[in-house]
């Protein structure tokens, strides 16, 4: 009797869990956008602390010349706790406790960043004192005894920049910003590209490698921020503290998780554009073999998820993807189908191909009876059992292709690198990229307004229809643009406390040395590139593995406790501990140099 009662209780709870995620109508697009904006606010807050607080890991690393000390600072538990507290916890709070006050929460984070900047200030007396000692600075009325060679100092500064994990831009020829004492308001970003004696495809390939190996901080933060929010949402949705309007809608509507699914596919497309920048000619069979090597692990994960959910009688939302299909299958088939369309890239951009696929797919939905089939057809065979996942794949493929096209603009230092014919030296052109993204975003916004406003096609993540396609790609293009503009604003601002101290000390040194010769002093100091949080690098380095770990932990939590009946403060503690474990695993892989190839 007890076993029967337990089985009945388990069945009732499973039905309650399935009902919890069924029939949702979602919320507003504006609210979903505001919640995701917390990732941008946390990045600005993190940068303010690293840049203006004298005892931040960034300034501590710059203050030492020891390689091991730099690595120890950035890989220390204190550095991890700082990253987690600033970059993860505010996002947990933003989609739970402060979900009803999303705009105020983002504003509060930005206000905190402004307070740190105004209170701490860029020039710290302790660091300035250290630099005075470094340059033998006795007093303002005394002479300077400069024993260090300027060229050696510049080389040492550049080496320090490249060796510090948080300030490395990912290439041997780091982007270096220089500032003179009299021109502190102007930053000059330079990329040193070596002349290549190679010709033809080899020269193009080498130049492409140089173009894409320069790390884009704004892109790294965009990707990791989206991944962190995704990992939070897949577990938080099972707790009452997570608003139901944020969970996936049943058929028509918009929500935070609907936006997250499409954004995950879009960001994957952006990153995969690296392989298309080299323009290396390769037989179609070889291209397909590479695609299969990428697809097979994902398909295996999809099969494993299906078997495990059936084996433990895990709750299912059948109308999301179908009876057997899941998101890993969608991700697994993408590289195969993208390879089929790769040949068209020689004649037309990926974004046009993706848009055509979305339009044709919408035609079949509206006029070909496909929408009625997806909504009403009985599940009698393998296709009808998985009709949502199979047919929505066309929409996700279109999103992925547009993501590739955006990546072809974003990844190189020159946004037009993919389309230009001749090889030449290029420096980073962030302003030009911002204008391109703004123009592209405007066109995509017009497409969304046409689909959603004029044609009256409601947004449907379940079918990944035309309005969903335009909503996702418009949002993500604008989202990337916002991170880019934030990076431009941050790097255009005053440098770190240590850099200013060096500039001041060196300027005074030059003034004293040249006063006897009646020469106008000039002082140049080499500054480190903008820092990228180590936690962000850790998440991006093993993005898919992190997503897999989050899915496994989500399943374990749901099998261990009854999430629907969990108090809010308990749920918040569980979410925090869960994200701490996910990010700690990613951090450990990063510090040990591990990269899981899935």
Token digits for 206?
């080498």
Q: What is the pLDDT of residue 199?
A: 43
Pick from 575, 581, 553, 577: which is nearest to 95 by CA? 575
Tens-digit pLDDT profile for residues 557-568: 999 999 999 999
* Unique residue bearing structure tokens 């406390």: 497
Helix (H, G, I), strand (E, B) or coil at 591: helix
- Which 8-state DSSP code applies to residue 416? T
3-state secondary structure of 520: coil
CA–CA gap between residue 125 and residue 500 (Å, rounded)? 11
Among 259, 229, 277, smallest CA distance to 410 is for: 277
Closest by CA to 560, choosing from 228, 311, 92, 238, is: 238
d(CA 287, CA 289): 5
**Residues near 455 by beta carbon (within 8 Å), at least 6 away in sequence:** 466
pLDDT value at position 312?
79
Do residues 47 and 114 touch, judged by C-beta distance below 8 A? no
Q: What is the pLDDT of residue 140?
A: 38
Specify burial of residue 561 (Cβ count, 10 A radius: 0-12, 13-18, 19+). middle
Alpha-carbon dihedral angle through residues 122, 192, 212, 189, given to the nearest 10 degrees: 30
Angle, vertex CA 489, rays to CA 485 and CA 495, nearest 5:
145
253: left (phi over 0), alpha (psi -120 to 50) or beta: left
Tell me the CA end-to-end span of the chain in Å, nearest whole number. Answer: 46
- The 8-class DSSP code of residue 254 comes to B
Rg (CA), the chain: 26
Those residues whose C-beta lies under 8 Å from the C-beta of residue 302, and which sit 6 or more positions away, are: 325, 326, 327, 328, 329, 331, 332
* pLDDT at 490 (0 to 100): 79
> What residue spans define the domains of the chain?
2-591
Taking 50 as the pLDDT cut, the residues of the chain under it are 123-126, 128, 132, 135-201, 213, 421-424, 493-498, 515-529
| DSSP-assigned beta bridge partners for residue 179 | 525
Q: How far, in Å, CA of 498 to CA of 41, rounded?
A: 24
| CA distance linking residue 43 with residue 487, whole number of Å | 10
Q: Which of 101, 104, 31, 92 is nearest to 239 (CA)?
A: 92
Say what the pLDDT of residue 590 is: 85
**Which residues touch 528 (CB under 8 Å, ≥6 apart)?**
62, 160, 161, 164, 167, 177, 496, 499
Distance of CA 279 to the CA centre of its chain: 25
The pTM of the full predicted model, rounded to 2 decimals, is 0.80
Beta-strand runs (E) in 412-568: 524-527
DSSP of 62-111, one letter per residue?
A: HT---HHHHHHHHTSHHHHHHHHHHHTHHHHHHTTTTGGGHHHHHHHHHH
Strand partners, 188: 178
DSSP secondary structure letters along 320-384: HH-SS--HHHHHHHHHHHHHHHGGGGGTS-HHHHHHHHHHHHHHHHHHSSHHHHHHH----SHHH
> How much is the pLDDT for 14?
81
> Is the Cβ–Cβ distance between 62 and 157 less than 8 Å?
no
Closest by CA to 578, choosing from 76, 234, 241, is 234
């Amino acid at each position: 009797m007890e076993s029967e009662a337990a089985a009945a209780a388990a069945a009732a709870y499973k039905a309650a869990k399935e009902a919890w995620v069924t029939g949702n109508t979602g919320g507003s697009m504006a609210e979903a956008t505001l919640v995701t904006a917390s990732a941008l606010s946390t990045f600005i807050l993190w940068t303010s602390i690293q840049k203006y607080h004298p005892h931040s890991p960034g300034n501590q690393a710059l203050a030492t010349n020891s390689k091991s000390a730099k690595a120890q600072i950035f890989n220390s538990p204190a550095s991890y706790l700082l990253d987690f507290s600033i970059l993860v916890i505010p996002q947990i709070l933003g989609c739970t406790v402060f979900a009803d006050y999303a705009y105020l929460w983002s504003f509060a984070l930005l206000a905190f960043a402004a307070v740190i900047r105004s209170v701490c200030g860029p020039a710290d007396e302790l660091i300035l004192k250290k630099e005075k000692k470094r340059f033998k600075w006795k007093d303002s009325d005394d002479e300077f005894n400069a024993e260090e060679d300027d060229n050696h100092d510049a080389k040492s500064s550049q080496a320090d920049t490249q060796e510090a994990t948080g300030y490395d831009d990912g290439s041997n020829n780091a982007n270096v910003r220089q500032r003179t004492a009299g021109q502190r308001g102007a930053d000059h970003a330079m990329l040193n590209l070596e002349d290549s004696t190679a010709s033809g495809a080899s020269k193009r390939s080498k130049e492409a490698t140089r173009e894409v190996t320069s790390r884009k901080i704004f892109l790294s933060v965009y990707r990791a921020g989206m991944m962190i929010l995704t990992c939070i949402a897949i577990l938080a949705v099972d707790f009452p503290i997570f608003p139901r309007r944020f969970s996936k809608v049943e058929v028509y509507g918009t929500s935070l998780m609907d936006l997250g699914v499409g954004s995950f596919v879009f960001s994957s497309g952006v990153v995969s554009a690296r392989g298309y920048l080299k323009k290396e000619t390769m037989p179609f069979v070889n291209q397909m073999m590479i695609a299969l090597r990428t697809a097979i692990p994902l398909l295996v994960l999809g099969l494993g998820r299906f078997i495990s959910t059936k084996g433990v009688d895990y709750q299912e939302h059948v109308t999301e993807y179908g009876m057997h299909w899941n998101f890993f299958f969608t991700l697994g088939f993408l590289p195969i189908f993208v390879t089929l369309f790769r040949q068209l890239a020689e004649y037309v951009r990926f974004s046009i191909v993706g848009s055509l696929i979305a339009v044709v797919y919408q035609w079949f939905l509206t006029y070909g009876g496909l929408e009625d089939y997806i909504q009403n057809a009985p599940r009698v065979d393998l296709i009808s059992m998985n009709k949502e996942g199979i047919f929505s794949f066309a929409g996700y493929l279109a999103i992925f292709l547009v993501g590739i096209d955006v990546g072809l603009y974003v990844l190189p230092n020159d946004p037009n690198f993919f389309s230009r014919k001749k090889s030449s030296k290029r420096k980073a052109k962030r302003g030009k990229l911002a204008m391109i993204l703004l123009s592209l975003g405007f066109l995509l916004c017009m497409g969304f307004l046409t689909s959603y406003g004029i044609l009256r096609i409601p947004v449907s993540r379940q079918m990944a229809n035309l309005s969903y396609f335009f909503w996702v790609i418009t949002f993500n293009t604008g989202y990337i643009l916002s991170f880019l503009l934030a990076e431009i604003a941050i790097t255009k601002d005053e440098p770190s406390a240590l850099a200013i101290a060096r500039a001041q000390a060196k300027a005074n040194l030059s003034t004293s040395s040249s006063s006897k010769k009646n020469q106008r002093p000039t002082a140049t100091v080499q500054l480190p590139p903008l820092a990228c949080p180590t936690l962000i690098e850790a998440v991006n380095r093993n993005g898919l593995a992190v997503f897999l770990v989050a899915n496994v932990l989500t399943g374990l939590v749901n099998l261990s406790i009854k999430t629907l009946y969990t108090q809010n403060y308990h749920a918040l503690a569980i979410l925090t501990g869960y994200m701490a474990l996910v990010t700690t695993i990613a951090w450990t892989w990063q510090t040990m140099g591990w990269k899981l190839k899935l």
